[in-house]
Amino acid sequence: MVHRLGLLLPLLLGQLCSQLLGTSGNSMLHYWNLRTENDSWGSKRIQDNDSVASAHTLLFSLDYQHVQTPFEITLWIMLASLAKIGFHLYNKIPAVVPESCLLIFVGLIMGGLIYSLNDKSPPVMNSDIFFLYLLPPIVLDAGYFMPSRPFFENIGTILLYAVVGTMWNAFGIGLSLYGICQVKLFNLEDVSLLHNLWFGSLIAAVDPVAVLSVFEEIHVNEKLHILVFGESLLNDAVTVVLYKLFKSFSEMPSIKPLDILAGIGKFFLVGIGGIFIGLLFGMIAAFTTRFTKTIRVIEPLFVFLYSYLSYLTAEMFHLSGIVA
C-alpha cells in the first residue's frame, strides 16, 4: 500500500506541475513511465530532464517589468507616508528641516533606487499627470480641512492677496527678468517678454508650508493664520490660469489686442465658472448623501468621487478645477 502511494504521489505532483506550467498531463505521464521502466539515463531522457528542469524554473522566475509601474508608485507612496510618520514622531526634525524638504529628499532617494534598478533615467512626470492625478487630492485635502467660517469672514482680503498679489508677483517677476535679459552682458536678448511672463506665472504662487507649520506651533493670531492659509489655497488657481493663458499666447503666431481682451475675459470666466461647477457638484453630493444613513460606508467614497468629478468637469470645459 505504501509502495503504491509512493508511485501515485509523484504522478499527482507531476499532474499539478503540468497544470501550473502549461504542459500537457500526457507528456508528464509519459515521462514518468519512461523513468520507472528503465533506470538508465540516455540522451533522450537527459533532454527530457532538462526540459522539465527548465519548466520548473518558471515557477520562480522574476518579471519586474510586468509590475514595474504599480510597484514603483506604491513604493513611492509608502516611503512618503513613512517619512511623514517619522517627521511627526521625532520632534527634533521640524526644527532642522521643513516637511516639504524632507519629502523632496525621499523623492531623490526613490529616483536613485529606480535609476539603480533599471540602469536608466526614471520616468519623467509630465503636466497631465500632475494636473489630473497629483493636484486634485492636494487641493481636496486643503479645502476639506479648511476652517470655513473664518475663511468666508475674510474672503475680501484673501481674494485681494490671492488674485491681485499673485498677478503683481507674476508680472513683476516677468518684467524684471525681461529687463535683465536685455542686458547684453548676459547674452539673453532672444528670450521674449512672453516667455519671461510665462516663467513668472510659474513661480509667482508661494506655498507657505513652513510658515503655516510655525504658525501652528506658536499659536499665532487666527486671522493672520487664515489670511495666509486662504491666500496659499487660492493663489494656485490664479497661477494655473495665468500659466495656461501665457502658454496659449506662446503657441500663437501673433498676438492681437483682441486676443489680450479675450484672455482677460477668460481669466474671470475661468474662476467664476469653476465656482459654479463646484456648487453644482456640492449640491448633488449633499442630495445624494441624504440617502446614505444606513450605508455610511460609501460616504467617504462620495466625497472623493464628487470632488474629483467636479475637478475633471471643470478641466473639461477649460475652467478652474482648483476652485471647483
Residue 156 has pLDDT above 50, yes or no: yes
Q: Is residue 137 part of a domain?
A: no
Closest CA to 270 of 308, 237, 296, 297: 237
169 and 244 in a common domain: yes
Q: What digits encode the pLDDT tens for the residues 52-83?
A: 445 555 566 777 778 877 887 787 788 778 87
Whole-angstrom distance, CA of residue 236 vs CA of residue 139: 9
Q: Is residue 196 part of a domain?
A: yes
248 and 270 in a common domain: no
238 and 275 in a common domain: no
Contact criterion met (CB below 8 Å) for 277 and 298 = no
297 and 218 in a common domain: no
Asked which of 213, 229, 252 is the last residue of a domain, the reply is 252
113 and 85 in a common domain: yes
Q: Is residue 51 part of a domain?
A: no
Contact criterion met (CB below 8 Å) for 79 and 110 = yes
Domain with 83, as residue range(s), is 66-125
Higher pLDDT, 264 or 36: 264
Residue 8 has pLDDT above 50, yes or no: no
User: What single string gives the DSSP state of each residue in 55-121?
Assistant: HHHGGG---GGGGHHHHHHHHHHHHHHHHHHHHHHSTTHHHHS-HHHHHHHHHHHHHHHHHHHHSSP
Q: What digits encode the pLDDT tens for the residues 197-233?
A: 989 988 887 766 666 666 776 777 888 888 888 887 7
160 and 244 in a common domain: yes
153 and 232 in a common domain: yes
Q: Is residue 34 part of a domain?
A: no
164 and 120 in a common domain: no
Domain count, the chain: 3
Asked which of 125, 158, 176 is the last residue of a domain, the reply is 125
Q: Is residue 169 part of a domain?
A: yes
Whole-number percent of the chain with pLDDT over 90:
12
Q: What angle do CA 155, 304, 158 make, to 5 degrees?
A: 10
Asked which of 125, 155, 173 is the last residue of a domain, the reply is 125
160 and 247 in a common domain: yes
At 209 the three-state DSSP class reads helix
303 and 281 in a common domain: yes
236 and 180 in a common domain: yes
| Candidate from 9-18, 174-183, 242-251, 261-270 with smallest mean pLDDT | 9-18
Q: Is residue 46 part of a domain?
A: no
Q: Is residue 181 part of a domain?
A: yes
Q: Is residue 130 part of a domain?
A: no
115 and 185 in a common domain: no
